[in-house]
Every structure is written in structure tokens, then in C-alpha cells.
């Protein structure tokens, strides 16, 4: 290894002082910050929020200080359908209800993976991966499907927000403390030769404590409830003694298994038109397998635009912190010019960014519009879940070029796929390593300060570890 010699540093220092342009830039960047100094108005000029296809969606929701973007995005797609079908106004489904059951199931998923890896040393990469983050807020589309399949949904009025769902830091801290403590017990039992029945008995006692912890922190999920509302015509409606499952069937009415996850991951290890899954990625044991079909970007955008043209919004995952403004809500490659600011070439290909840890899915949102000119997509309307004070009343504009570089996943109806894509989607998927970028969980939180908000963990955030084994 070669050390830096003082003479070399002195040379760099003198070269900097002798460069008038760099000295001028220093004054601006030191005072105003890097992002503010590198921001260009061109991104806003080139991405006016007007779209040839623009769906009616109502007001945006606010995930606040939590990593529930993937939940909000999924529930928002249901809300759009319900607003139009039942003529509702300012209606939301309960994110707290879904949050409760996701935490509960992720805990069991973690226990099962700890049991499955009990024969491996603590130093094994898989065990270390599990213990790094036993659970977190993030997730992926197929994980939310598993929750909806098992637990249904409820209106926000049936289980309102709580302090700990809106700001999940403390909840995650103490839940992970407990899960790591329980991992020591489970591994010790197995090491001492405990029977499967004894291990299961101990796990059930742990799950009772998990349920109690979540009920104290988030409230108790309703088993039945009444749904009472007035539609936009002021007509009164009341339906009593609904269960979360019957509410989903009647008011959401979507067959979630008719939808498929489409990804664009142009890395050498993931050929296009093939399916993939990730080891130890999930939340509900026995739930829907997390599965992706990898396609080229042109096909990716064609599918997204086709669903929007049919009047249905699109759940999608991206790396939101890359080349985007939080206040004005512009996601465009020309929103900043950092190459010019620093006279440094930061350019990497999409594949290089994935392979070298520079990018992955950190956040999930909803596509609610697209601008199509002469048959070509030019920009996209994005419904975020950070409240109305960011972007245009909470909506962002994503350039077509930005989508090419930083969008990784969409969820579309399988009827939109070509015959070739359907056939590829039916293939048995190879299993990727738990730490593969595809396992990232979408989880970016709404924060008060401007960037950086890129998290560690495609749980939509970067996964230092996913939920457990589980996925911005």
C-alpha cells in the first residue's frame, strides 16, 4: 500500500489555490451547499407538469417519519379505484392496520430463518445478514400482496394512524432488540438438541410477546367494523359488521394475483426475459413468492404506459434520491449538473450502479399519468406519499430519461404482457443471494430536511439487511 506524502498534498493545495474558477465555486458551495449550488432550472423547464394521460386520484397521503412507502403506494392504487367506483372524497385505507400485520409476520419470518440457519456459525454471511437488521419498515410488492391476502384491508377510520406508525424509529429499535434476544434463545435451544415441538412452543411464546408489543404500540387491529360514509352526491351509506377480508372483496375487488412484477436490471448476471427470486426475501411464511420478470427498458415503459392508458395507476419502485429535487418534485437527469460544478465525471451506467452499490430501489410510489407525444413517452406523473408540501401538491414529475436510469420495478396486469413475456413469467426462477440488489426494500421516509434521504436498503430502501430475510 502507498501512503499519501505531504509533498503531494501540498501540490494539490497549490494547484487548487491557483485555479480561479475553483476558488469562485468554493465560495458558493461552502455557503449554499452542494445540491443548491449544482441545481439547474432546466430540469423544471423541460418537465412542465402537464400530461396527455392524467388519472384522477384525489389528495396525496403522507407516510410521515416511517418507511411505509411500499404500503402507501399499494393502498393508494386501491384508493384510486374506490374513489371512482364509490364516488368517495378524501378517503384513505388504514396504513396502520397493514403496518401492524406486516411487523407481526416479519417477526415470525425472522424466527423461521433463524431456526433454518441454526446449524451455521454466527460468522456465516447469511446469519450475519439476518442479525444486521432483523426487520424494518420496507418491503416489495409481493410482500404486500401476502398481507392483503391473509388480513384484508380496513378504512383508515377503523384503525387510524398512531404515533408509532407515523414515526417508527422507536418501534423498530425495540422490536429489533427483542428479535435479536429471541435469536439467542432459539439458536441455544437448537444447539442443545431441543425437539422441534419445544422450539415451536418457545417461538409461540415469543410471538405472543410480539403481538402484545405491537398492540400496545399501534393499537389492536379490528376484527369487524362498520363502514359509514357520504359520497360526492351527499348520499349516506352504511354497511355494518364487515371483516377486513369482506371489505377488501366488496370495496377493493382486485385479484392481486393477476398482477406481475416487472423489473429492469441490465446487469450481466440477469439476462432479459427471465424470472428471478431472492433467497430469504418475504414477510408471510407460506405467502406469495417474491418473483420478477426482467425486461428491456423499452418493453418496461410500454407496459407502464399501456396500464395508464387503460385508466389504472401503476405501483413502481425507484432510487428517488438520485438527481431529484425534494421541494419542486422534479426527477430529471438535468436537474443538477455536478459534473460541471466539480469538474469530475460522476457518470456510471445503470448496470454499473447496481453492480457497484451506487444505486438500487429505495422508494415506491405510483404512476398516475404520462405524456405521450408522437407515440413516445416523454415524462411521467408521480404520486408520492410525502404529503402535499413537496412537489406540486405532493405530485412529482419524472422525465423519461430519468425513468430509464433510476426506475427498477413496475407492477402491471398480466393481460398486458406479450405471449413471450407470459411464457417467460411462468418459468421457475433462479434464486438470487439474499444480499443481491434485487432484494432491496422500498422504504424511503418523508423527512423534514432536504437530501440526503437515500436509505440503506430494493425493500423500497438499500438493504444492509432486509427484513428478513426479507425489500427503496
Which of 46, 172, 363, 444 is catalytic? The answer is 363
- In contact, 386 and 453? CB cutoff 8 Å: no
Q: Catalytic annotation on 363?
A: yes
Q: Catalytic annotation on 237?
A: no
Cis omega (within 30 of 0) for bond into 58: no
Supply φ then ψ for residue 307, to 5 degrees. -70, -40
- In contact, 114 and 181? CB cutoff 8 Å: no
**Could you give the residue ranges of the DSSP H alpha helices within 152-290?**
163-166, 169-191, 196-218, 244-247
Determine the Cα–Cα distance for residues 349 and 81; give it in Å rounded to an integer: 37
Q: What is the tally of helices (H) and strands (E) in the chain?
A: 17, 13
Q: Catalytic annotation on 384?
A: yes
Which of 283, 384, 444, 470 is catalytic? The answer is 384
CB neighbour class for 119 (10 Å; exposed up to 12, middle 13-18, buried from 19) = exposed
Supply φ then ψ for residue 270, to 5 degrees. -130, 80
Q: Which run of H or of E encompasses 32?
A: helix 20-32
CA dihedral 273, 55, 328, 408 (to 10 degrees): -10
**Helix, strand, coil shares, percent, the chain, to 5:** 40, 15, 40
SS3 381: strand
Which of 47, 69, 108, 172 is catalytic? The answer is 69
Query: What is the secondary structure of 237-255 as a DSSP string?
Result: EEEEEE-HHHHIIIII---
Determine the Cα–Cα distance for residues 264 and 294; give it in Å rounded to an integer: 5
CB neighbour class for 24 (10 Å; exposed up to 12, middle 13-18, buried from 19) = exposed
Q: Is the dihedral of CA 26, 27, 30, 32 positive or negative?
A: negative
Determine the Cα–Cα distance for residues 266 and 59; give it in Å rounded to an integer: 35
Cβ count near 392 (within 10 Å): 14
Catalytic residues: 69, 363, 384
Amino acid at each position: 500500500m502507498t501512503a499519501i506524502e505531504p509533498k503531494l498534498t501540498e501540490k494539490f493545495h497549490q494547484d487548487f489555490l491557483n485555479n480561479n474558477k475553483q476558488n469562485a465555486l468554493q465560495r458558493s458551495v461552502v455557503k449554499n451547499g452542494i445540491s443548491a449550488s449544482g441545481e439547474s432550472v432546466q430540469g423544471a423547464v423541460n418537465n412542465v407538469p402537464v400530461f396527455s394521460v392524467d388519472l384522477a386520484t384525489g389528495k396525496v397521503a403522507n407516510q410521515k417519519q416511517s418507511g411505509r412507502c411500499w404500503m402507501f403506494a399499494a393502498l393508494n392504487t386501491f384508493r384510486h379505484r374506490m374513489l371512482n367506483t364509490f364516488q368517495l372524497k378524501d378517503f384513505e385505507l388504514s396504513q396502520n392496520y397493514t403496518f401492524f400485520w406486516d411487523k407481526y409476520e416479519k417477526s415470525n419470518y425472522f424466527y423461521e430463518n433463524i431456526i433454518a440457519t441454526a446449524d451455521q456459525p454466527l460468522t456465516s454471511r447469511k446469519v450475519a445478514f439476518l442479525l444486521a437488521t432483523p426487520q424494518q419498515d420496507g418491503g416489495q410488492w409481493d410482500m404486500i400482496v401476502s398481507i392483503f391476502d391473509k388480513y384484508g384491508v380496513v378504512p383508515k377510520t377503523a384503525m387510524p394512524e398512531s404515533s408509532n406508525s407515523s414515526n417508527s424509529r422507536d418501534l423498530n429499535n425495540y422490536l429489533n432488540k427483542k428479535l435479536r434476544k429471541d435469536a439467542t434463545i432459539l439458536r441455544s435451544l437448537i444447539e442443545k438438541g431441543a425437539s422441534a415441538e419445544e422450539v415451536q412452543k418457545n417461538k409461540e411464546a415469543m410471538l405472543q410477546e410480539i403481538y402484545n408489543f405491537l398492540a400496545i404500540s399501534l393499537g389492536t387491529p379490528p376484527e369487524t367494523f362498520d363502514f359509514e360514509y357520504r359520497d360526492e352526491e351527499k348520499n349516506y351509506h352504511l354497511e355494518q359488521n364487515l371483516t377486513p377480508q369482506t371489505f377488501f372483496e366488496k370495496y377493493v375487488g382486485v385479484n392481486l394475483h393477476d398482477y406481475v412484477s416487472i423489473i429492469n436490471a441490465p446487469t450481466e448476471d440477469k439476462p432479459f426475459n427471465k424470472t428471478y427470486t431472492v433467497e430469504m426475501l418475504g414477510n408471510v411464511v407460506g405467502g406469495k413468492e417474491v418473483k420478477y420478470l426482467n425486461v428491456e427498458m423499452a418493453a418496461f415503459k410500454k407496459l407502464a404506459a399501456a396500464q395508464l392508458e387503460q385508466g389504472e395507476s401503476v405501483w413502481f419502485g425507484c432510487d428517488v434520491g438520485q438527481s431529484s429535487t425534494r421541494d419542486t418534485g422534479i426527477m430529471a437527469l438535468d436537474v443538477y449538473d455536478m459534473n460541471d460544478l466539480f469538474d469530475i465525471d460522476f457518470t456510471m451506467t445503470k448496470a454499473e450502479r447496481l453492480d457497484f452499490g451506487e444505486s438500487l430501489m429505495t422508494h415506491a410510489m405510483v404512476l398516475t399519468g404520462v405524456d405521450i407525444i408522437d407515440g413516445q413517452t416523454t415524462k411521467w406523473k408521480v404520486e408520492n406519499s410525502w404529503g402535499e408540501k413537496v412537489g406540486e401538491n405532493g405530485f412529482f414529475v419524472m422525465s423519461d430519461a430519468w425513468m430509464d436510469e433510476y426506475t427498477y420495478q413496475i407492477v402491471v396486469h398480466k393481460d398486458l404482457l406479450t405471449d413471450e413475456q407470459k411464457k417467460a413469467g411462468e418459468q421457475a426462477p433462479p434464486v438470487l443471494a439474499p444480499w443481491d440488489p434485487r432484494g432491496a426494500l422500498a422504504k424511503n421516509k418523508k423527512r423534514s430536511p432536504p437530501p440526503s434521504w437515500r436509505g440503506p436498503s430494493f425493500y423500497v430502501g438499500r438493504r444492509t439487511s432486509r427484513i428478513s430475510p426479507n425489500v427503496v
